Amino acid sequence: MRTRIKICGLTREVDVDAAVAAGVDAIGLVLYAHSPRAVSLERAAVLARRLPAFVTPVALFVNATRAEVEAACAALPAVLLQFHGDEMPTDCASYGRPYVRAARMTRGFDLLDFARQYADAQGLVLDAHVQGYGGGGKVFDWSLVPHGVPHRLVLSGGLNAVNVTDGMVKVRPWAVDVSSGVESAKGIKDAAAIRRFCQVVREADARIAAHAPTS
């Protein structure tokens, strides 16, 4: 299995180009004004137009209005929606678009029940429970992830080239999502760090495959 890679919080054309050149599967555009990595919808559309086929733009929302989400769907035709606030299952599903839902991992949080509530999500983004809504660069306790979650899992929260292999081995996610771990400053990505992160993920894939049981 090839672990998918998403680089989140992109704000500059040069960073989009670096992510694409490194072989990422998706980029995240933060449409949440209180984030230091926020971009306007107009800016998000400009950045998304640089993407080649098969690289997905992901729009991140935190308790956005319906009008804001609908405007993003219109401006970004190929967009995948990512809900990172307090959105209910009916809210997320009401746009008729594929979406992923963030789960704020902490001790006592029932991920299996959460997954059942968001049964039609394309995946669950597992992030640290921090003040505010994500983007804190904090790693959560990966042992909190139970077996048998009926969703594709996206491992997030404080990942970087040093710790992503350990996270992949322990969680076996479908995808990994990095932001601060490939930055030189908030919202400013480092091309070399992006390349290194992607390289480490591919090496971890090979390591996991080499140790997989054969039938």
Chain length of the chain:
215
215 within a domain of the structure (yes/no)? no
| Domains of the chain: total | 1
Contacts within 8 Å (CB) and 24+ apart, 96-99: 97/73, 98/122
74 confidence band (pLDDT: 50, 70, 90): very high
101 within a domain of the structure (yes/no)? yes
pLDDT score at 129? 75
Whether the pLDDT of residue 97 is over 70: the answer is: yes
36 within a domain of the structure (yes/no)? yes
pLDDT digits (tens, 9 = 90+) for 113-161: 999 999 999 999 999 976 666 556 789 999 999 999 989 999 999 999 9
39 within a domain of the structure (yes/no)? yes
Rounded Cα distance, 85 and 83, in Å: 6
Kindly tell me the number of DSSP H helices and DSSP E strands found in the chain. Answer: 7, 10
Pick the catalytic residue: 15, 25, 92, 127?
Answer: 127
Rounded Cα distance, 120 and 12, in Å: 32
Average pLDDT over residues 60-72: 97
Q: At what angle do helices 13-22 and 191-210 cross, to 10 degrees?
A: 20
Rounded Cα distance, 204 and 176, in Å: 12
Buried-exposed string 45-70: b where 16+ CB fall within 10 A, e elsewhere? bebbebbeeebbbbbbbbebeeeebe
54 within a domain of the structure (yes/no)? yes
Rounded Cα distance, 125 and 103, in Å: 6
pLDDT score at 55? 98
| Token pair listed for 130 | 């921090």
Q: Which domain holds residue 32?
A: 4-210
φ and ψ at 53, to 5 degrees? -60, 145
User: Is there a catalytic annotation at residue 15?
Assistant: no
User: Is there a catalytic annotation at residue 73?
Assistant: no
The domain that holds 132 is classified in CATH as 3.20.20.70
Pick the catalytic residue: 8, 92, 177, 198?
Answer: 8
